Amino acid sequence: MTAAEAPSADAVVLQMRQAFRQGDKAQLAALLPLAAGHPLEPWAAYWALKARLDEALPDEVDAFLRRFAGTYQEDRLRNDWLRLLGQRRDWAAFMAHEPLFRMRDDAQVRCYALALAFMTRQAAVGDEVRRLWHAQRELDDGCLFAASRLAGSGQLAPLDIWRKARMAMHANRPALARAAVALHAPDASAEVAAIQANPVRWLSTQAARVGDAALRRALATLALVKLASSDPAQAAAHMDTWAERLTPEEGDWVWGAVAMRAALRLQDDAPAYYRRVQQPARMEAEAQAWMVRAALRAGDWREVLRAIGGMAAELAADPAWVYWKARALAATGRAAEATPLYQSIARASGGGFYEKLAAEALGQRAAAPPAPPPISPEEREGARLNAGLNRALYAIGLGLRGEGVREWNYAVNLHTPGGMGERQRHAAAAFACQHEVWDRCINTSERTQSFADYAQRFPTPHRAAVLRQAQAIGLDAAYVYGLIRQESRFVMDARSSAGASGLMQVMPATARWTARQIGLEGFSPSQINERDTNILIGTSYLKLALDGFQGSLPLAAAAYNAGPGRPRQWRNGPVLEGAIWAENIPFNETRTYVKNVLSNTVDYAALLTGRPQSLHERLGRVAPLPPDAPPAGADMP
């Protein structure tokens, strides 16, 4: 290869990332020397070693860790190496490396460390192992190994094991359920497989063959939980037979699973199922959350209090449940008890959805806070010279956004070498803003807790284009900005896994339909990546959704995220205040999305107008479609 034929250094790095994704070890080894001296050489070296880590010698790993000491890549490779050492049960090497792992953001590595602490000194680690294992969603080795070490020790009881199996079965993760049951009843794997295949048949004809009464109850509970995930009414019917055979704890768990599935379907009978639960604390956490939502939808404030009262302290401290507990206290004649709860979370400036609503309950509307003290020249220079920030921006500029984002987040984390305090993060956010890397600007600025710089947190890129288009079609520019901030964080080339593109994350089919509706001649889906076209199509679709849903901001936002068909169904039922309706959205992503878009909208409105704003007013009320109204967005994609 001649010098003229040699790829550029940037091209080498891009080729190496592609080779890494394809698992091409030979290509990575061949290209690595060509990346020497490149700003992203730490990434190139990481990819090359990570791809063959399972065959690497410890000396090679140690050499990499020394050479790139203090970098994100060093810490990430140490994380990968610790996982491998745990899988190999190489505890001597694990103990040498684990104290040097800085981010400590890997649950599996943490579980290995906890298991090791238990095995070597009988440390009391049961609570943390239980929490991590119960949160595990994939059949990874670390937390399952830790659970296996603690099973039968008294730190992890049989009930903890069966609860994990129930959670896994309810979430349709049968491999996790089987692995859990095997820790307590290794001979029951065939029964678990039969339950997964057909819980009704097992309950009706196969349960009797299990001779041990306690095991039969535990497996029946598992079967009823599995059945509830697909047919809550049928599971409830089977409880007529099984309820008296189960323990109170098992019964409450089943009724919680039945009620939760009914609540997710917005069924009117969900509260009745929840009333069958004797002690809400015995249900899984997600069932407890849906108990609150179902009670809110039914307008039963006393049941709201019962549900939140059964939550663990950590869950009950979530601003959502603090707010609704305060509302329930006020609604049941205990307003004096509600006020301190509102005060504990209220933030009219810099707060989230429920912090704003709590502030409004105290008579404070959302407003932009005073600007923090300006960033000093020394603070700006510190950000400009930070190697991790610069490497992150280089990666993002080269199209390696995932790598750049991870490196940036590591650089601003307080626990990393030279970890940043709030003033340094403020300067780092300004550095990102300066380079128009808006997602890092926003996310970094949100890490400052003692002050909020709204110019960073709620930037207005492409302001002239957004304001002009919003005014032209009669949309509130604050609503548009609130939605863009949630959709893409102003990343022009953002692309979702589903294929949505650009600032407003528009799907190709949606773009074609909207172009026809607004008479945009000669439109091609490739144009959706152009800024002005993306804004035109996105805002036009949003306006059509808003008009189709009679001006309801929550309904239109839900339609933008989940398609119009779903909110058309979700609005059926009782007339609800907007916050209750939003909290009852069955999809986690859409529920969070709607609340964030509305919260963003209020903040942008405060910035754009200079006046305090009401989130409660923008939420309005959500009601079924009036009988004489045309179907809301019936033909919208």
Residues 631/377, Cβ–Cβ less than 8 Å: no
Phi then psi dihedrals of residue 153, to 5 deg:
-90, -10
**In this prediction, what percent of the chain has a pLDDT beyond 70?**
98
Given this model, what pLDDT does residue 421 score? 92
Cα 50 to Cα 65: distance, rounded to the nearest angstrom: 12
Q: What is the mean pLDDT of residues 467-496?
A: 95
Residues 441/429, Cβ–Cβ less than 8 Å: yes
pLDDT at 101 > cutoff 70: yes
Contacts of 279 (CB under 8 A, 6+ apart): 248, 252, 310
Cα 86 to Cα 615: distance, rounded to the nearest angstrom: 49
**For residue 591, which of 566, 620, 558 has the smallest C-alpha distance?**
558
Q: What is the mean pLDDT of residues 122-151?
A: 96
- Distance (Å) of CA 131 to CA 143, 279, 290, 615: 10, 21, 20, 35
pLDDT at 4 > cutoff 60: no
Which residue is listed with tokens 């000194």? 121
**In this prediction, what percent of the chain has a pLDDT beyond 90?**
92
**For residue 89, which of 63, 119, 59 has the smallest C-alpha distance?**
119
pLDDT at 3 > cutoff 50: no
pLDDT at 15 > cutoff 90: yes
Q: Kindly state the DSSP code that residue 35 receives in the 8-state scheme.
A: G
Residues 525/555, Cβ–Cβ less than 8 Å: no
| pLDDT tens column, 527-550 | 999 999 999 999 999 999 999 999
Given this model, what pLDDT does residue 633 score? 59
Cα 166 to Cα 179: distance, rounded to the nearest angstrom: 12
Residues 172/145, Cβ–Cβ less than 8 Å: no
Q: What is the mean pLDDT of residues 606-611?
A: 96
Query: Please, what are the domains in the chain?
Result: 377-451 (no CATH), 463-622 (1.10.530.10)
Given this model, what pLDDT does residue 416 score? 67
Cα 149 to Cα 172: distance, rounded to the nearest angstrom: 25
Q: What is the mean pLDDT of the chain?
A: 95
Per-position DSSP letters for 84-121, written without gaps between them:
HHHHHT-HHHHHHHGGG--S---HHHHHHHHHHHHHHH
Q: What is the mean pLDDT of residues 156-164?
A: 96
Given this model, what pLDDT does residue 513 score? 94
* Bridge partners, residue 576, by sequence: 622
Q: What is the mean pLDDT of residues 89-101?
A: 97
Q: Identify the weakest region by mean pLDDT among 106-110, 152-156, 632-636.
A: 632-636
Which of the four pLDDT bands, split at 50, 70 and 90, describes residue 125? very high
| pLDDT tens column, 366-400 | 999 999 999 999 999 999 999 999 999 999 999 99
Cα 55 to Cα 61: distance, rounded to the nearest angstrom: 11
Q: What is the mean pLDDT of residues 211-233?
A: 97
